[in-house]
Structure 1
Amino acid sequence: MDNANTQKILGFFIEESKEHLETIEQGILNLSATANDAEQVNELFRAAHSIKGGAAMLGYSCIQKTAHRLEDAFKVLREHRITIDEKLESLLLKSYDALQEFIEKLQGPFGLQDDDAEAIISQVEPTFGELQSHLASLLTPGSVIENSPKEKASIDWGTKVRDLLKQMLQLFKQEANTASRQQLQSLCYQLSQLAPHETGWQKLIKMAQTAIANPKHNYHTLAPVVIKELKLASDLIELGQNQRITPSSELQYLAAAKLPQVLVTLEPKSVANTLLQMFNQQQVSQVIQILQSAKQSYP
């Protein structure tokens, strides 16, 4: 994770994950009460689901896998009435501890090293198998609880949004040019079509598109703001809190920023000096290419 464009996004993921970990820990420590409260079980599921999605977007497969195992366990609690016992609590806590250790390593001075990740996975892998087997043993005939259409739509929504955000993040790692900006805007359009009647979501997407289209903004500036804003808004929709979607002051500023306007004299050297002061190296190269193309059209 040495790409400068992803550092702020990584920081956001760590802070968000720590909040979700707290939710998971409290839910497991009070598992008997939690299992009897549909909304609390949903919160556990969404917390694991969100960590899984963020890890997948950033390419941390070990965190994604661990969060996915917890998500699967919470899915069983959502869909079945089971009797909670100490063994289930212990197995869930061991899985939680592994996930917490990943996040702690990630925010450490050396980050999450491959050797550390492999060691944690090797240690917790037997727990995953035991957890799956024990959950199966607790299931009884007639214990199935069907997810509501709303819950199923929420799961589908989160998966689609995180897949598009992952593609967006990969584009932000590339060179900032017209082609990649157009691809980013296309992804914004696809995101907008997931909730075409949500006013707050549509306003946010439009601001993101406007900011991305402005060549004045580099990807180092755009990536952390756009990804974070869209991820937060997506989570609010998933939680049914659409009315809380509000663009941040940073995104509003990026969307409102005007394209640079240049006033120059007709003296060539003055024009060149002004362009060098106003534009970056990539933009100057583009101007040179345009001028060369224009020159070839003269008789």
Structure 2
Amino acid sequence: MQSVKQQQILGYFLEEAKEHLDTIEQGLVDLRSTMADSERVNELFRAAHSIKGGAAMLGFDSIQKTAHHFEDCFKVLKEHSVKVDQRVEDLFLTGFDTLKALIVELQSPFGLREETAQQAVLAAEPTFNELQTYLQLLISGKPMSAPKGMPASALPANAAVQLTTILKAMLQLFKQGDSQKSRQQLIGLCHRLIQVSPRETAWIAIIQVVQRAIAKTQHSYAAIAPVVIKDLKHSSDLLLAGRTAEIAASANLQKLVVPTPPSSSPSAPQTANRASAATKPQVSIPREPRAAARTLLEVFNKSELIEIAEFLMKAIQ
């Protein structure tokens, strides 16, 4: 049994670690833009360094080692002008899933079990090794190709671990209660899911449906969570089994994103249009401009985005 003092110290570490994870996640979601801002890259380095230091002090070797990998990689980004591509982003995000999973597991009722931690670190080692090697090759300016023997559409070796980790994180967010921040974090986790297999159109399609369902704030978490988690688990199993042609949104998931038709009453067309507009999904837009842009791109189609842009231009004139 931990002493009260130990529990307090652990609580402080977890609170700070969550903030650092948010910083790293936000930087990695759009790493190409992050690379254009040296201060943001420095923030990523400091966040990884802080997690490493706190984990070392408390004796969480697995978290320390994983954060150290990130610190080394972010140091490369700090010191060199790396042209980020999809492969770099995928490798960083895969590694991030491991770091986040370790910290989420640490705050679970049973804590971070040594066996679980070791397995996670071992599974992540190839990812970090490949990332380090790839970054050095990019710095050298040598052309890159996919790893030998691995087709471009192949799933990463630890895909099952990634999927399980992300689904657990989504479930935890649903349990924490509804808020704008948690909905944005859920949408961010959907990005992680897409990166597991970014070329499978059926997989991407169902994740996009999930994103739209989460964005509709008129639906409570109690209504969304059981449907979303069930659909994602089923689709994940199909993805891992190579049966992507069978991936499709269930009827219950589709109901969450289909607007409720306006009530039929003898009214003028203008009134009907207003009723239809009222049933459009309600979207939580973050204050940070890049995150706001990503949310809009996920939720609205091209014609709707043009209409929004025109309205904003008129509003600020």
Larger Rg: 1
TM-score under structure 1 length normalisation? 0.46
Q: Which has the higher contact order (CA 8 A, sep 6+)?
A: 1
